Amino acid sequence: MAGTARTALVVSAHSADFVWRAGGAIALHAEAGVAVTVICLSYGERGESAKLWRQEGMTLERVKTERRKEAEAAAAHLGVADIQFWDLGDYPIALTQDSLFRLVDVYRALHPQFVLTHSERDIYNHDHPAVTDFAQHARIVAQAHGHNPGQKVLGAPPVFLFEPHQPEQCGWKPDVLLDITAVWAKKRAAIECMAGQEHLWEYYTRVGQQRGAQAARNSDRKVVWGEGYQAVFPHVVERLG
């Protein structure tokens, strides 16, 4: 992965978040030849698997197995190059120092062109902002010259924050609208892999339509489907137009 390969890193708290929030970006860049790594820090087995828990005799291990299968199937639709499941638990997620350094190693192995992770606030879900802090902390450690000297230090990949479930309540405001019209069919196919959260399929289809309409209004493009992101750092550009 090192060297001239184009890579991107997606850090997802639970095993379905990358689908709702970044499936379009993943498919779009995968089609363009970017090797996208998705890290699911947990399966969302306790907090984001309500439908599975309603089945008779369900166990934690069976929920994890189902969620993993769903996420792998979704990742295949999106063209993910590498999906990893770290099984750190959820509600609450256990973000240990060992796992922080493990993520630092991923940054230094990939040197991603960009990073996607959760919003900085989420009053409905404390795992999500904990993961945002974790992903950014690992990025900063990967930039530190004194950490594992001899390795190539990470540059400054831009970080874009996922749209949370209720953006207004989380202080999240998109400043990037991505045109995902060309890959919407892949995102919808990935969404439909998430059998454990079928109640969200139409919700995130509406979100895609809304962001698409807003992207069209903010450009001269015929955008139908979109994804919103909030950039953490200033955009560094060579020209303004």
Which residue ranges make up the site for Zn ion (CB under 5 A)? 13-14, 17
- Closest approach of Zn ion to the CB of residue 128, in Å: 6
Q: For residue 158, what is the DSSP state?
A: -
Q: Which is nearer to Zn ion, 94 or 213 (CB)?
A: 94
- Closest approach of Zn ion to the CB of residue 118, in Å: 8
- Closest approach of Zn ion to the CB of residue 50, in Å: 12
Q: Which is nearer to Zn ion, 13 or 39 (CB)?
A: 13
Buried b / exposed e over 56-93, threshold 16 CB at 10 Å, is: eeeeeeebbebbbebbeebbebbbbbebebbebbbeeb
Q: Which two tokens stand for residue 148?
A: 């594992």
Buried b / exposed e over 190-205, threshold 16 CB at 10 Å, is: bbebbebbeebeeebe
Q: Which residue is nearest to Zn ion (CB)?
A: 14
- Closest approach of Zn ion to the CB of residue 84, in Å: 16
For residue 84, the cross-strand partners are 39
The residue type of 188 is R
Q: Which is nearer to Zn ion, 14 or 77 (CB)?
A: 14
Q: Which is nearer to Zn ion, 170 or 223 (CB)?
A: 170
